[in-house]
Homo-oligomer: A and B are copies of this chain.
Amino acid sequence: MSAGDARSRKRAPGAAYDPRMAERPDPNDHPPRRSFIERARRAQIVEAATQVVAELGYAGTSLARIAEKAEISKSVITYHFENKDEILRLVVSQFFERGWERMSGHVEAESTASGQVRAWIGSQLEFYAEHRAEFLAMSQIMANHRTPEGSPAFAGELTEEVDALTEILQRGQRDGEFRDFDARGVATIILRCADGVLGSWAVDDSTRLVDQIPALLDFVDHAIRR
């Protein structure tokens, strides 16, 4: 019934698809089983998929169009990847990984809580501004990708972000930098605020995102400062 329950997967070039791989693409424990060509192809295909999703949207993305964009045949894709789902997950997780890396560096460099909040939002938006296609693809996939049963596939990805920001806000409250408010609720609001600004930039690239950043930082600053 369900396609691919006990498929006799030909001679998989990579291992059979393991959902955990999507979150730990750094195989330090498992030595990199992938050949040079395979790593290059996978990167190329993920890159092409990113562009297609950004241009044509989630619904407009098919293996055929990814292949066309990468100028390869469709079956090269199905040879190197288990299925479409694996590709889309990689688009999202790779983008998150790089963004988080960049952000956490900027945040940890700050000493005050308000500085960390500014660094958080500022570096996040800067990173997105520099990678518009990746951002568009990521948000398209996050918003649309579903499990076979129909529920959103990337539901709980944000809670850890909220947790981290909540901690910063609480520290700022203890140190007297911020006024009194529900830290967790405000953390959610701030993050969603940034998402919102990104949303308007997503549909209209004429709004120069980097120009909006100071305004948003100011806005948040006034909102939480004592």
Interface residues of A (CB under 8 A from B): 55-60, 140, 143-144, 146, 150, 152, 155, 158, 179, 181-182, 185-186, 188-189, 191-197, 199-200, 203-204, 207, 212, 215-216, 218-220, 222-224
Contacts and interface: CB of A to CB of B under 8 A. Distances in A.
Contacts of A55: 150
Nearest to A184: B215
B219 A189 contact: yes
A197 B189 contact: yes
Contacts of A200: 158, 188, 192
16 contacts: A60-B150, A143-B144, A152-B203, A186-B219, A188-B197, A188-B200, A188-B207, A189-B193, A189-B197, A192-B195, A192-B197, A193-B193, A193-B196, A196-B199, A222-B222, A223-B223
A192 B209 CA distance: 13
A200 to B, nearest CB: 5
Nearest to A157: B203
Nearest to A198: B192
B192 A199 contact: yes
Contacts of A152: 57, 203
A128 to B, nearest CB: 14
Contacts of A207: 188
